[in-house]
Amino acid sequence: MLSVETRHAIDPQAAEAMDTAALRRNFHVGGLFTDGEIRLCYTHYDRMIVGGAVPAGGSLTLDHVKECGTASILDRREMAVVNIGDAGTVAAGGETYTLEKGDVLYLPRGAGPVTFSGNGRFYILSSPAHQAHPARLLKIGDANQLKLGSAETSNERTIYQFLVPEVVPTCQLVVGYTQFAPGSVWNTMPAHVHDRRMEAYLYFDLAPDARVFHFMGRPEETRHIVMKNEEAVLSPPWSIHCGAGTGAYTFIWAMAGDNADYRDMDMVAMEDLK
């Protein structure tokens, strides 16, 4: 079963007038991981798609998506698949890949229908692509690793970069995830924006009663959205994107836009946050 929700782009002035319900309706993405279903959110932020596929021991095939305007989803798109569950397989382009938890699969434009099988919980990211690069399955050891922060500032963390130019060439997609050292809960602080790319976060590996307070908005007009396990949030190019959790968690970050340069960001001074 396939379901698709569309999210239109919101400007900063409109976001600043929203109450909690409206912020969640426009930026929070929940319910992506449902047994026996593929659920997608088609956004008007750089035409990024975020979604989830949970075959629950069976198989699910992702092919025609009306919102994409093509016969098959990857006719003019590329895709990243991140497994956040038990082992499973993904088949596309005549190949079958086995994904353990934490593995990332890159699928290029023209790879055809994508079939998810087994007990994985597959996080799907897709953006338009103008050319095809080779498909590749990446383990955590293949990622470029950055160690940032400190225990003293509660943000000691390791950033695992999977889909970045130094590791895997793509057209638009930039994807990785961040894991925290024990006792650290702050992500992406000091904050930044990057007006040339949108970003999406998926928070996972949270305990059932844990929450992450995700901060968004212009630096001088911040807002927050309360997130629970396996929920995503959309970050427009004009918005900061950072958060703090009540306990341990991991988050997947994904970007699409004008370039694939992870370092292309505009830092926000702490005194400018309001």
Q: Which residues are annotated as a binding site for Zn(2+)?
A: 192, 194, 199, 241
Question: Do residues 205 and 8 make contact, with C-beta atoms less than 8 angstroms apart?
Answer: no
Can you read off the two tokens belonging to residue 111? 């790879």
Q: Which residues are annotated as a binding site?
A: 192, 194, 199, 241
Q: How many angstroms separate the CA atoms of 200 and 161, rounded?
A: 15
Instruction: Name the nearest CA neighbour of 234 among 14, 40, 7.
Output: 7
Instruction: Name the nearest CA neighbour of 121 among 245, 22, 31.
Output: 31
Question: Do residues 209 and 140 make contact, with C-beta atoms less than 8 angstroms apart?
Answer: no
CA angle 255, 260, 265 (to 5 degrees): 75
Q: Which residue pairs, CB below 8 angstroms and at least 24 apart, start in 144-151? A: 149/184, 149/186, 151/181, 151/183, 151/184
Can you read off the two tokens belonging to residue 270? 């702490």
**CA distances to 40, 190, 212 from 242, in Å:** 23, 8, 10
**CA distances to 103, 111, 163, 263 from 266, in Å:** 30, 35, 21, 9
